[in-house]
Chains A and B, each alone.
Chain A
């Protein structure tokens, strides 16, 4: 049996004969809803030692129509620590006859520097056949050498929706005395294992139909099969470490950051001067954080191990810039100089961040922040943002697990979680329609938590043009003029922005006819809707917590009376509650709207309920009064 697996592993991938490329070998069932068929894929990871792994990749893709063209483009990246070589590619027609071979000089070699980094060693090579006769098949092979096992490749056979898979396999070979760790997602079998001269693990899938992505679906990782692997002992640059546990991964990070917290004398003096008058950790931290914000800026340089190792505190002190690692390290150094212990924290930042996998220690992070432990008043600091309130994490780094680095190694911790009551938008609208049909509005809005992020940026980052664009989005009136706009801000742990707008919209209610149509919900109409579907496979994921309360008062000319008045309504679901009420007080319309939403995962069979709820909200939001001339 052992022998058989070996044979299977080594011989098969390289004995595909020409006719097998023919599209006639694709089962018809796989072509449904597919633009491309992954005919074959093999990713073979061979771990040679703690300092070296070789990744051989080969894949064959048949493109059925023009929508699949992107998948026929070869693309792979490299850096100072991961080389890329031995690229070959072939193009076949529908019958499986070879049309073209890639020539080495036709492969483009480009900088892959992201927009944020001023300098990065990330580069990529790419190639495309630009073939337009469908269907056609491409085959690519390449080899990467990883210097150090800090990063290892993943196997995610479904690269996207509309891709069917005939066969894809992931082979990992490693020395008998090495401990490799792996984690399977939506893969419900055990790997095929052989333990001869080396360990060899095989995962594979065959004949799988495309995944159809649905709105509000769970993340790709939660719906598609995948296998992640991670090192135990590894080398990275000149460093050695282990990531068998979060603790040991933390110890490694501690080691590469070691000795980088030395501050120049003048900065130490500054720290003393700034903190002398305070006694509490909170006050001292806030003073130093404000110093950091005023005296540094974010500049990213990512080279080699430098993409994980911070520039030291002295570098930041003299240049007054650094990336997330350098600035966090600098913040921790400042706090240390004031006698306050703080921790470096690795995290996956962004609104669509990957969830930390608790039982699978691996370096799946893209950002660093600072944590000042202080019991229940623990302070979290985002060191790359010069304007955010001390302690506020928000949508960028809040609501998730992260790895805190302490003296004894790494610990998985939870960053602040923001409830709907933390993320509010409380709006009061007072409006008057005059006899000419012109509208005069005063809009007073309090935004808190995640709901104040946009307004916070408007205050600090935006140009006047961007502010006008924002107002255009908020104010959907045919013609209007903003006569006054003011913003005030409270920098709490849950920050708060108060916006005050005065708006004039001439000719809002045309005076021509007998009637006036007024939709009292002037500024907060929901437009979310779920499409009609015949079948729902995945749960629905509602990703935000918020609470909106709108109170609108509109006074209309006394020569009008009410012809029709909208109905008040209230709706309730597991992921939200909504109510709207309309009342008439003399010649004034009052609308009170409350909309609360929870982060929630709703089971697929409740799709229709969710649809009904959102339709109801949309409909009520657009309710209108009809006034008629007396």
Chain B
């Protein structure tokens, strides 16, 4: 009973908020529209979107199916010159090759309005102002730019796209870089289609209404014989009409340490869940994970070939064979990684047959890692594909088996009870390693029983360790040794940076920070080419003997290793801070007190915690028998921080920067 009341309340609530704004007709612009007031507008606003209204409807087409009709209308007030760039509009249209598989643009209208002496003057665009650029064989861009722009003008445009691709019902972003006073999207869906609607971002809807509308669709089936008459089918039913709108949408601001703005931008998107031809004939498009995995295993664009004989790869596999199955897996992994290139890291699907990939040596991440999977299987090693969404592709909701959420595939292999996740698509990644952008939450193993596995950002840590030893050498100057082991993930980053450089450039880069004060010798970079191991950098250093024999020496014991700048320089933050992994940085210094000097002042020891137990900074310095020892450590137990944590985080690093700048004072005896 209680639930019923809630439901009723919710319904009435929805109705009372279903009032949408009346949108002026195209061509109707009043003088007062130029002086619109809003709290969202400040002195820095260059463009105000007065309204943006869109709709998606279905129609019956002439090819025996439905098409989508997407309409978009937008009116902007351009307040400043810096907003003129927003008056060039580009619309991408997809083409599948023939007219029935091509998206068509129509009903294009656009005009610029200027208020001159209290009168609204317009300059209209026509069809010929719509420029066409063929970007590639499948994408054509339509472009136009508004004429006669002045600061304070209004531009208004609308267009319609007819598309046969109803699986790609257009999503709608309510938020943009400009403030939007009214953003509204209406979608009418015939009963035959069932879409899953998902919302992202944090802004609540002003309007969120649903109603029904009786509609009849006429679908024409072309005849196979020119002499036959085409067939028509009439489909009638109650369309579900949904309208979502948000009033006064603040501008979206991109921030550093954000995986992707898609995680935070307020928008709504649609996924075709099922097509219900009749009560008994229903085509499930989004299924449960079991059926979805089953389909993927049969899918020619995914796992089907994994189970085929694939005799063509046998010859190469024989060369990679090894008695130890782990070594065999490593051989195959290394072979795929070192011989194939990935040209699309945002595509889990096969773009061609595995054999074709084998020949052309290039493919999507799907092509490369599924080839790896197939080769492992052919060699008798248990291997299954695992799909995931990389951090730049955004967060996923893994409760629904919605494949479009996933953009990436890796291979999992199980040998002797041990599990290894393999990614052969990145040229410098070691065996059983994943790059940090693969750690973005749940992933799904595609096998008969599709289990979920977690790759959580907060779970991965990158431990770097630096140790510097400085001694008074026999010649009276200071010399020593630098040793640095990088964490798993920072090794990847530095390796990517160094691997294509000459020895000379590498030496320069790894010693750069120290080069002001020291000369170097015996530079050793370990494991630059051994991708399975962390990188280590070590060298001998000798202090450049300038200004020796001073009465007082001020010496920063962090040398060049400390934080010199706060990584969080902005004072405010709207969205979470997303770091790629948990930081864990240790620096140690052991040094002789310079000959003939004694310690006048040492920095103070300190230990601060970040948000209780979520991290900390330790700076411990001590003096014993002619030596100074320092240990500085920064660590976190998580990698993602809420905007609420931001001030604490900024102050934390601000403190580290200050502490790292402190000096030891040596005084001549």
| B361 pairs with A563, CB closer than 8 A | no
Which of B137, B362, B657, B662 contacts A513 (CB under 8 A)?
A: B662
Q: Tell me, in angstroms, the Cα distance from A269 to B98 when the chains sit together.
A: 53
Which of B123, B339, B340, B499 contacts A318 (CB under 8 A)?
A: B123
Which of B566, B601, B663, B665 contacts A478 (CB under 8 A)?
A: B566
From residue A478, how far is it (CB to closest CB) to chain B in Å? 4
Q: Tell me, in angstroms, the Cα distance from A595 to B614 when the chains sit together.
A: 47
Considering the complex, give the chain A residue whose CB is closest to the CB of B134: A111
Q: Which of B499-528 contact A (CB under 8 A)?
A: 499-500, 502, 508, 515-516
Select the stretch in B54-62, B143-151, B208-216, B375-383 that faces chain A: B143-151
| A478 pairs with B143, CB closer than 8 A | no
Q: Tell me, in angstroms, the Cα distance from A554 to B75 when the chains sit together.
A: 53
| A130 pairs with B361, CB closer than 8 A | yes
A626 located at the interface, meaning its Cβ lies under 8 Å from any Cβ of chain B in the complex: yes
Scoring A residues 437 to 477 as 1 if CB is less than 8 Å from chain B, else 0, what string do you get? Answer: 00000000000000000000000111111001000100010
Which of B565, B603, B665 contacts A476 (CB under 8 A)?
A: B565
Select the stretch in B29-37, B80-88, B391-399, B457-465 that faces chain A: B80-88
Chain A residues with Cβ under 8 A from B339's Cβ?
Answer: 132-133
Which of A109, A478, A514, A564 contacts B565 (CB under 8 A)?
A: A478
Chain A residues with Cβ under 8 A from B137's Cβ?
Answer: 109
B654 located at the interface, meaning its Cβ lies under 8 Å from any Cβ of chain A in the complex: yes
Q: Tell me, in angstroms, the Cα distance from A510 to B660 when the chains sit together.
A: 11
| B601 pairs with A513, CB closer than 8 A | yes
From residue B663, how far is it (CB to closest CB) to chain A in Å? 6
Q: Which of A494-536 contact B (CB under 8 A)?
A: 507, 510, 512-515, 517, 529, 531
Q: Which of A285-317 contact B (CB under 8 A)?
A: 294-295, 297, 299, 301
Which of A113, A131, A626 contacts B552 (CB under 8 A)?
A: A626
| A463 pairs with B44, CB closer than 8 A | yes
From residue B648, how far is it (CB to closest CB) to chain A in Å? 13
Considering the complex, give the chain B residue whose CB is closest to the CB of A563: B552
Q: Tell me, in angstroms, the Cα distance from A97 to B170 when the chains sit together.
A: 51
> How big is chain B's contact interface, by range?
35 or more
| A318 pairs with B135, CB closer than 8 A | no
Which of B136, B515, B564, B651 contacts A110 (CB under 8 A)?
A: B136
B571 located at the interface, meaning its Cβ lies under 8 Å from any Cβ of chain A in the complex: yes
| A479 pairs with B82, CB closer than 8 A | no
Scoring B residues 631 to 669 as 1 if CB is less than 8 Å from chain A, else 0, what string do you get? Answer: 000000000000000000011001001100111010000
Q: Tell me, in angstroms, the Cα distance from A529 to B517 when the chains sit together.
A: 13
B604 located at the interface, meaning its Cβ lies under 8 Å from any Cβ of chain A in the complex: yes
Chain B residues with Cβ under 8 A from A464's Cβ?
Answer: 44
From residue A218, how far is it (CB to closest CB) to chain B in Å? 21
| A517 pairs with B81, CB closer than 8 A | no
Q: Tell me, in angstroms, the Cα distance from A33 to B582 when the chains sit together.
A: 40
| B81 pairs with A460, CB closer than 8 A | yes
Q: Tell me, in angstroms, the Cα distance from A110 to B150 when the chains sit together.
A: 35
A279 located at the interface, meaning its Cβ lies under 8 Å from any Cβ of chain B in the complex: no
| B135 pairs with A472, CB closer than 8 A | no
| A295 pairs with B571, CB closer than 8 A | no
Considering the complex, give the chain A residue whose CB is closest to the CB of B556: A517
B454 located at the interface, meaning its Cβ lies under 8 Å from any Cβ of chain A in the complex: no
Considering the complex, give the chain A residue whose CB is closest to the CB of B254: A465
Considering the complex, give the chain B residue whose CB is closest to the CB of A512: B604
Which of A118, A294, A472 contacts B131 (CB under 8 A)?
A: A118
With A386-B81, A476-B565, A513-B603: A295-B150 Cβ-Cβ less than 8 Å = yes
From residue A472, how far is it (CB to closest CB) to chain B in Å? 4
From residue A598, how far is it (CB to closest CB) to chain B in Å? 26
A129 located at the interface, meaning its Cβ lies under 8 Å from any Cβ of chain B in the complex: yes
Chain B residues with Cβ under 8 A from A170's Cβ?
Answer: none
A66 located at the interface, meaning its Cβ lies under 8 Å from any Cβ of chain B in the complex: yes
Q: Tell me, in angstroms, the Cα distance from A187 to B603 when the chains sit together.
A: 62
| B133 pairs with A119, CB closer than 8 A | yes
With A110-B136, A476-B565: A320-B603 Cβ-Cβ less than 8 Å = no
| B662 pairs with A510, CB closer than 8 A | yes
Chain B residues with Cβ under 8 A from A19's Cβ?
Answer: none
| B663 pairs with A517, CB closer than 8 A | yes
Q: What's the A-B contact tally at a CB cutoff of 8 Å?
A: 114
Considering the complex, give the chain B residue whose CB is closest to the CB of A478: B657
Q: Tell me, in angstroms, the Cα distance from A66 to B657 when the chains sit together.
A: 39
Q: Which of B558-574 contact A (CB under 8 A)?
A: 564-566, 569-571
B341 located at the interface, meaning its Cβ lies under 8 Å from any Cβ of chain A in the complex: yes
| A319 pairs with B147, CB closer than 8 A | yes
A392 located at the interface, meaning its Cβ lies under 8 Å from any Cβ of chain B in the complex: no
Chain A residues with Cβ under 8 A from B340's Cβ?
Answer: 130, 132
Chain A residues with Cβ under 8 A from B508's Cβ?
Answer: 531
B554 located at the interface, meaning its Cβ lies under 8 Å from any Cβ of chain A in the complex: yes
| B145 pairs with A479, CB closer than 8 A | no
A543 located at the interface, meaning its Cβ lies under 8 Å from any Cβ of chain B in the complex: no
| B148 pairs with A319, CB closer than 8 A | yes
From residue A388, how far is it (CB to closest CB) to chain B in Å? 12
Q: Tell me, in angstroms, the Cα distance from A128 to B427 when the chains sit together.
A: 17
Q: Tell me, in angstroms, the Cα distance from A597 to B480 when the chains sit together.
A: 38
Q: Tell me, in angstroms, the Cα distance from A116 to B272 when the chains sit together.
A: 38
| B360 pairs with A481, CB closer than 8 A | no
| A479 pairs with B651, CB closer than 8 A | yes
B338 located at the interface, meaning its Cβ lies under 8 Å from any Cβ of chain A in the complex: yes
Scoring B residues 212 to 239 as 1 if CB is less than 8 Å from chain A, else 0, what string do you get? Answer: 0000000000000000000000000000
A25 located at the interface, meaning its Cβ lies under 8 Å from any Cβ of chain B in the complex: no
Considering the complex, give the chain A residue whose CB is closest to the CB of B657: A478
From residue A629, how far is it (CB to closest CB) to chain B in Å? 11
Q: Tell me, in angstroms, the Cα distance from A531 to B520 when the chains sit together.
A: 13
| A321 pairs with B150, CB closer than 8 A | no
| B565 pairs with A131, CB closer than 8 A | no
Chain B residues with Cβ under 8 A from A462's Cβ?
Answer: 82
Considering the complex, give the chain B residue whose CB is closest to the CB of A510: B658
B253 located at the interface, meaning its Cβ lies under 8 Å from any Cβ of chain A in the complex: yes
Q: Tell me, in angstroms, the Cα distance from A460 to B642 when the chains sit together.
A: 34
From residue B647, how far is it (CB to closest CB) to chain A in Å? 11
Scoring A residues 305 to 344 as 1 if CB is less than 8 Å from chain B, else 0, what string do you get? Answer: 0000000000000111100000000000000000000000
Considering the complex, give the chain B residue whose CB is closest to the CB of A479: B654
Chain A residues with Cβ under 8 A from B88's Cβ?
Answer: 118, 299
From residue A221, how far is it (CB to closest CB) to chain B in Å? 24
From residue B504, how far is it (CB to closest CB) to chain A in Å? 9
Q: Tell me, in angstroms, the Cα distance from A113 to B134 when the chains sit together.
A: 10
Chain A residues with Cβ under 8 A from B565's Cβ?
Answer: 476, 478
Which of B499, B650, B658, B665 contacts A515 (CB under 8 A)?
A: B665
Q: Tell me, in angstroms, the Cα distance from A76 to B554 when the chains sit together.
A: 59
| B149 pairs with A481, CB closer than 8 A | no
| B145 pairs with A321, CB closer than 8 A | yes
| B150 pairs with A294, CB closer than 8 A | yes
Which of B44, B502, B554 contacts A626 (CB under 8 A)?
A: B554
Q: Tell me, in angstroms, the Cα distance from A299 to B145 when the chains sit together.
A: 8
A80 located at the interface, meaning its Cβ lies under 8 Å from any Cβ of chain B in the complex: no
From residue A145, how far is it (CB to closest CB) to chain B in Å? 21
Scoring B residues 188 to 215 as 1 if CB is less than 8 Å from chain A, else 0, what string do you get? Answer: 0000000000000000000000000000
Q: Which of A60-96 contact B (CB under 8 A)?
A: 66-67
Considering the complex, give the chain B residue whose CB is closest to the CB of A65: B500
A51 located at the interface, meaning its Cβ lies under 8 Å from any Cβ of chain B in the complex: no
With A131-B361, A481-B571: A297-B81 Cβ-Cβ less than 8 Å = yes
Beyond contacts A67-B500, A460-B81: 13 other A-B pairs, Cβ-Cβ < 8 A, are A66-B500, A118-B131, A119-B143, A130-B343, A320-B148, A321-B149, A386-B81, A462-B82, A468-B569, A476-B565, A517-B663, A529-B515, A531-B508
Question: Can you report 23 A-B residue pairs in the complex whose CB atoms are below 8 A from each other?
Answer: A66-B500, A111-B136, A119-B131, A119-B133, A130-B360, A132-B339, A132-B341, A133-B339, A318-B148, A319-B148, A320-B147, A320-B148, A460-B81, A472-B569, A478-B566, A478-B661, A479-B650, A479-B657, A515-B663, A515-B665, A517-B663, A529-B515, A626-B665
By a beta-carbon cutoff of 8 Å, the part of chain A in contact with chain B is 33, 66-67, 106, 108-111, 113, 118-119, 128-133, 294-295, 297, 299, 301, 318-321, 386-387, 460-465, 468, 472, 476, 478-479, 481, 507, 510, 512-515, 517, 529, 531, 563-564, 618, 624, 626
Q: Sorted from nearest, which 4 A-B pairs have the closest CB atoms?
A: A479-B654, A478-B657, A319-B147, A130-B362
